[in-house]
Each structure stands twice: as structure tokens, then as C-alpha cells.
Amino acid sequence: MLTNYFKIAFRNLVRHRVFSAINIVGLAIGIAACLLILQYVDFELSYDRFHTKADRIYRVKQDRYDKGKLSTQWAGGAQAAGNSFKAAFPEVEDYVKVLKRRALIADYGEKSLKVERVFVASESFFKIFSYPLLAGDPATVLAEPNTVALSESVARRLFGNQDPLGKTIRLNQEKAVKVTGVYQDMPANTHLHADLLIPHRTFIQEMGPDNNPDNGWLWDGALSYLLLRPDADPKALEAKFVPYIEKTIGAELKKYDAGAVYTLQPLQDIHLYSHLMEEAEPNGDGNTVYLLLGIAFFIVVIAWVNYINLATARAINRAKEVGIRKTVGSQRGQLVRQFLIESVLLNGLSVVLALVLVAVAMPFFNQLSGQHLSLSLLGSGTFWLALGTLFVVGSFFSGLYPAFVLSGFQPVTVLKGKLITSRQGTVLRKSLVVFQFAASLFLLVGTLAVFRQIQFMREQSLGLSIDQTLVINPPIIKKDSTFMRQMVAFKDELLRQPAIRHIAASSVVPGQASDWNAGGIRLKGTDVSKGSQYRVIAVDYDFLKTFDLKLIAGRDFSKEYGLEKKAVIFNKMAIRQLGFTNPADAIGKEIDFWGDIFTIVGVTDNFHQQSLRDAYEPLILRLIPDVRGYFSVKLATSQLQSTLATLRTEWNRFFPGNPFEYFFLDEHFNAQYQADQRFGQVFGLFTGLAILVACLGLFGLASFTTAQRTKEIGIRKVLGASVFEIVQMLYKEFALLVLIACVVATPLAWYAVSQWLQGYAFKSEVQWWLFVLPFVVVLLIALLTVSFQSVKAALMNPVTSLRSE
């Protein structure tokens, strides 16, 4: 019997090729889009889940308060947190501290290698985390100072086929260290990627006995991870932090009218839900992941709706088949099974085509989304579970209602030719079409809003000039005794070149967060409780003129006033925080900066140090003439290649052994919007697919509706109706459905876009055209979709359509 069901189902699919093709293609696109998004979502959710103790690992998050207000949220918090919490609370089984370091040069024999991702880690690193150690003992690999552990790829590049263990390498041409371990390259789905690990004991040794970081509660920058015991309650442990901090550093914090709150972040939540200061690396966005998951749901439901609409619309054509089957003895249950088998067969063919589409589209999707998904994911259990779920749910969800509608026809009514389309069925089909286009409109409004916000951020004035600015990465190898002389000579030599207008050195450049967060800064002579937190950028004399920063009071740094190492320039936001409403009033005032006295010589207007997602921050430009940082070169010519050759030559002359690496500042700054750009592209792609799938269904529905009204159209033409009037009549019904969809989608889209824009400090306005333009686009697409069938029907000779009457 089952074989017979499949034979009949196959014959029906072949007999009605156009409707079958529309359903199969629509479902295949919907399933393929859904599978691509599910793979992306599955990858994002898989971060750090491979650690065997992942459910017991928590990172300590630090919230700093200034004058009762939240000032900073740190991933890399107090140096003392990890070891202190381990000693104080039995719930903590172990801890590990991790600190970011700058890139370094590793030398072995004749081989020299720049290592980008360098971290300091305490000795429990490989005992807590499940990063496979290929050589060395997990318990001792990071136990001794003046040793290192290397990633597999770094070890291979330095040592080739030699055994690295026990061998000595030099770091930055100065420090000799022994290799005590080699670990497997860290996988893509972890929030922490290290190419070289330095033991924390080395860091303690470098700081000296009077400056032990393990005692540093007001010294930030350490990523502290706690391994809790199996029976520990994280919330109960967090509650114990409050009295402990009060007892330990409460008096010190009160002196500065400051506060610190420590909470626990589950390791598996870091990648998607943590965007704090001093993150190990930029993290993903949980909202984006779940929004894409919603899009996947929309697309596949739209495809299922197509099947339901077309299957029920064709009910009249299949009514006689049902009547005859019931007359010769078929039971309703048998007919339901027959129509469900048709749905299963159609969904099965769609799944096969969807797999082909996924394989073909994967490279393009990776390029668009910036992910590194591969076809190897097709072998994962999650993928096949998702595919199986889509197949089963799709077969029954899309097939069940049509099966019961078709099997419910009464033989007497059908065979007398008295069957008419029910009002309920018509309303359902129209409701489903409205849902399809409401979903499409919602997604299209969202896509436009994303690109509008990106365009808005790129068009706004930053308050500083980043055009024609080439930035050279900081020198890694530098000798303190000669660096100032090298730096001055390097700048002087470059400024002799007519192609170079200005050159400045700074600890960070626009597009980067300041890594110097200074608390307790106050006016000289005021109580320590008046101190506040500021972001600090170390700059040389030429920073303001290189970036064309606007002074609203005072003057620039100048050598005419001698070596003014005690001079600072505030931005407008910082002056307000200091208590001045008029910038001019702050000029000449002295501030207490960690015990040293500095003079405010100028005030700049607020400028965007980072993207427009972030609000202005109170910022201090502190003059450090020999700052070890980036060199920003303002170019005056388009002769880039010759200028680059000059820069490279002079760099190698003054900073030998340092790689010459550069980037263009405008590209670097706009890279902050790359995640938004990619999100917009992915959002736009799947919005387009949703509209395509909806239009496929609309084409099929229009074809069937037009065929049903063929005789009516013939009669109207005989009575004098023009082609335009007939096309207008057919258009009106579908245009009304799109209008209703717009009414439904507009308030939902407005709310969603408004909520999304709350994540930006500087945001575009939600304007009327964001809703009108998608409506016009979708309406035109819908009308073009039905045009072929409508015009064809309007042009048909009425004699042909009325021949049988």
C-alpha cells in the first residue's frame, strides 16, 4: 500500500510540474538558508564548550564605580582577584590569571619570528582549560620563570622538525627563555587565542618584590578565571565577594569615593555576551546570533506557507479525484496518508536540493559573514538533527492541513460539480500571504536600517582628521637609553621629505580604545574623594596638528616652553567632569595625577576616539615626548609607493630588527564597523531570499487564481472590459494583501529598529522612508510577479475561455 501511495504521489508531482517545481525550489531555498544560519548559530554557540570543565569555569568581572556611578566594566580586572578569592573561599578549587602582552620577536639561531598573540598565564592554565598540550607536563609547563610555552605552529616555524623542549630562544633580542611546552593551536571557537605563553612567575619577577601583582587590588589588567568545585553555587559565592571586598579594600576605595563590584561570568557566555574593557579579543554578539535564528525561522515558515497555500488552492482541481476515491471505498484516513506521502516526497526532494545549495553557497556565505564554516560540519550530529527536524516538521506542518482539507470533500457534492471554494479557505490563504509579505517587509526595513546606521556613522564628523594618514606599528625591539634619540632623528629625517606633512607618536591611534584608565585624578589641593576616572592617551608634541584636533581653549603642546613633561590637554568632556563649565576657566589649573602635579595647557573639543557606537569619554592627552607607540604619518602626496619605500628605508635604519608594518588610518577606523557591515550583508541576503520564496508562492497562487477566473475574464471581455481594466482587477486583490502586510509589519519593524539603535550612542533617526520604500519595493515585486499570468489572461481570446459554455 505504501508503494502505491508513493507511485501516486510521484505521478501527481510530475503531472503538475510547475506547482511541484515552485514548491520544491521554494522549500529547498528555505531549508538551505535555514541550514546555513543554523550552522553559523551552532558555531557561535559552541565557543569554549570543548573544555571538559567548562560548566565549572567562571571569569571574574569587575565593575568600577566613581562617585556612585558605574564608570568602567572590566574583563581584565584587579591583579589580586584570582589568587585572593582562591585563598579566601573553599568553593574555589583553582584559578588562573591571564594577561595580554604586546607582540614580540622570537629568535632561534638564524630564524626570527614576530609573534602577535602573546599572553602571560599562571601555572594552572593547562589544568583548568582543555587546550591539548603536545609536549611538556601540564602541572609544570608554566611553573618556572624565564620559560615559555609555544603553539604548535610557532614551534614548527621556529624549530622545523626539531624537538623544541629544553631549547632556548631569545625574546626581543634581550631575554633568553627555555621552551617547556608545546600546545596544539587553539581552535577557532574559543575566546582566547595565544601563540606564546609566558609564566606569571616571570611577570612577578619583572615587577620586583616591592610591586607584587598578586597584591594589586587597584591594579587592573588581569583576566582571572576561577574553577569552582562541583557543588559550589556561583550566586552564593558572588554574594560573599561583597563583604570580602569591603573588608579588604573598602577603606581604600572610600578615600576616593569609589567602589568595586565583582561578579562571575560563565566561561561559555563570554564570546556572545561580554564586551568589556581588556577583553582577550573582540567577541561576538548574542543578539545578532538570535536575530539570524529568527530570520531562519521566517524563511523556512514562508516556504512551508507556500506549500499550504498552493495545495489548498488546488483543492477544486483534485476534488473529483477525492470524490471518486471515496465512492470506490477509500476511507478518510487513507486519503490523509496519501496526501501526507505527497508532502513527504516533496519535502524529501527539497532536502536533497537544499544540501546541494548549502554545499555550493558555503564559500560565498563564509566570505559574506566572515566565518570559517566548512563542509566538514555536514558530518556533525547537530547538522543532521537540524536537517531531520526540518524534514519531519516540514512534511507534517505543511502537509497536514491540506491533507485534512482535501480528504474532507463529500463525494455527492463533488461529483455533482457543486463544490465551491470555502470562505474560510480563502481567508486562510490570504492570511498566509499577508504573513509572508509582512515578514518580508519586516526584514527589508531591518536591512535598510542597518545600512542607514552604518552610512550615518561613516558620514559624521569625527572631530579629527584621519584621511591620508599612514600608521606604523610600534617598534618591538627598543633600548630605553637611546629610544628618544632614535625617535627624534627618525621624525626629523621623515619631515625633510616633501611627501610627508606631519608625524606624531602616541600610545593608541583613533579607532582604538585607550588602554590607560586612570582613576583618582583631581584638582590640586582637593580631597582624594574628589578624584575621578579618565581615559589617558600618551602623545608627543605633534599629535594635535597631525590629527587636526580643534582647540577650544588654551594652546597646543610646544617646545617653546621647554621640556614640558608636566603638561596635559583635556577634552571638553573631561573638563566638565573636573567641574568646569567654561573650558577657558580650566587653563592653567593644576591636577594631581597619581601624586604628580600636571598643568592643563589646553582643551580640545570632543572627538571620536572610537566608533560612533560609543559615547564621548573624559579624555586626557598626556605629553610624553618619548612615548613608545604608533607613528602616525600625514601624507601630502598620492605618490604612495615611493613614499612607502622611503618610510621602510628610514625605519630599518633607525629601528633595525623591527618589522616595518603599517596600515591606513581611515581603513583601520572604518574596520570598527565591519561587524555591522557583515551583519547587514547577511541580513540583506536572507531578506532577499525570504522575498524570493514569498514571490515564488505568489506566482503559483496567481497562476492558479487566474486559471480559476478564466471564464469570468472571458465574459468581462465580451461585455467590453479592456485589458487594462482586467489587469487592474487582478492586481487589486494582491495589492490589498501587501497593504495589509505593511500595516501589520510597520509597528513591529519600528519597535525592533528602535530597540536595535539603542545600542549606539550616536544613531540615525527612524525616518518615514524606511517604511515607505520597502512597501513600494515589495508591492512592485509582488505586482511584477503576478503580471505574467494577469496580462496573459487579459489578452486571451474570450472564445477560447468560453468554448465549453
Number of H helices, E strands in the chain: 25, 25
**Gap between the Cα atoms of 159 and 652, Å rounded:** 26
Rounded to an integer, the average pLDDT of 604-630 is 93
**Gap between the Cα atoms of 593 and 758, Å rounded:** 35
Rounded to an integer, the average pLDDT of 483-510 is 92
Cα–Cα separations (whole angstroms), residue 454 to 442, 444, 697, 774? 19, 16, 33, 18
Q: Is the pLDDT of residue 790 over 60?
A: yes
Q: Is the pLDDT of residue 384 over 70?
A: yes
Coil, helix or strand at residue 608: coil
Question: How many C-beta atoms lie closer than 10 Å to residue 423's C-beta?
Answer: 8
- Spell out the SS3 assignment of 138-203: CCCCCCCCCEEEEEHHHHHHHHCCCCCCCCEEEECCCEEEEEEEEECCCCCCCCCCCCEEEEHHHH
Contacts of 755 (CB under 8 A, 6+ apart): none
Coil, helix or strand at residue 580: coil
**Gap between the Cα atoms of 334 and 339, Å rounded:** 9
pLDDT value at residue 299: 86
Q: Which of 201-210, 292-301, 404-413, 534-543 has the highest mean pLDDT?
A: 534-543
Percent of the chain at pLDDT exceeding 70: 86
Confidence of residue 733 (pLDDT cuts 50, 70, 90): confident
Query: Residues 151-162: pLDDT tens digits?
Result: 999 999 999 989
Q: Is the pLDDT of residue 327 over 70?
A: no
Q: Is the pLDDT of residue 342 over 50?
A: yes
More reliable by pLDDT, 605 or 382: 605
Terminal C-alpha separation, the chain? 40
Asked if 660 and 270 touch (Cβ cutoff 8 Å), the reply is no
Query: Residues 68-82: pLDDT tens digits?
Result: 889 889 999 999 999
**Gap between the Cα atoms of 422 and 419, Å rounded:** 9
Comparing C-alpha atoms, which of 67, 177, 83 is closest to residue 521?
Answer: 67
Q: Is the pLDDT of residue 705 over 80?
A: no
Asked if 118 and 101 touch (Cβ cutoff 8 Å), the reply is yes
Which residue, chain included where needed, has cell 597631525?
Answer: 546
Confidence of residue 440 (pLDDT cuts 50, 70, 90): confident
Q: Is the pLDDT of residue 794 over 70?
A: no
Average confidence score pLDDT of the chain = 86
Q: Is the pLDDT of residue 225 over 50?
A: yes
Where b means 16+ CB within 10 Å and e means fewer, 461-484 reads ebbbbbebbbbbbbbbebeeeeee
pLDDT value at residue 362: 87
Query: Residues 644-691: pLDDT tens digits?
Result: 999 999 999 999 889 999 999 999 999 888 888 888 888 888 888 888
Asked if 440 and 777 touch (Cβ cutoff 8 Å), the reply is no
pLDDT value at residue 305: 80
pLDDT value at residue 173: 86
Query: Residues 532-543: pLDDT tens digits?
Result: 999 999 999 999
Task: Give the predicted TM-score (pTM) of the model.
Answer: 0.86
Query: Residues 226-250: pLDDT tens digits?
Result: 999 999 999 999 999 999 999 999 9
Asked if 604 and 551 touch (Cβ cutoff 8 Å), the reply is yes
pLDDT value at residue 414: 47
Confidence of residue 202 (pLDDT cuts 50, 70, 90): very high
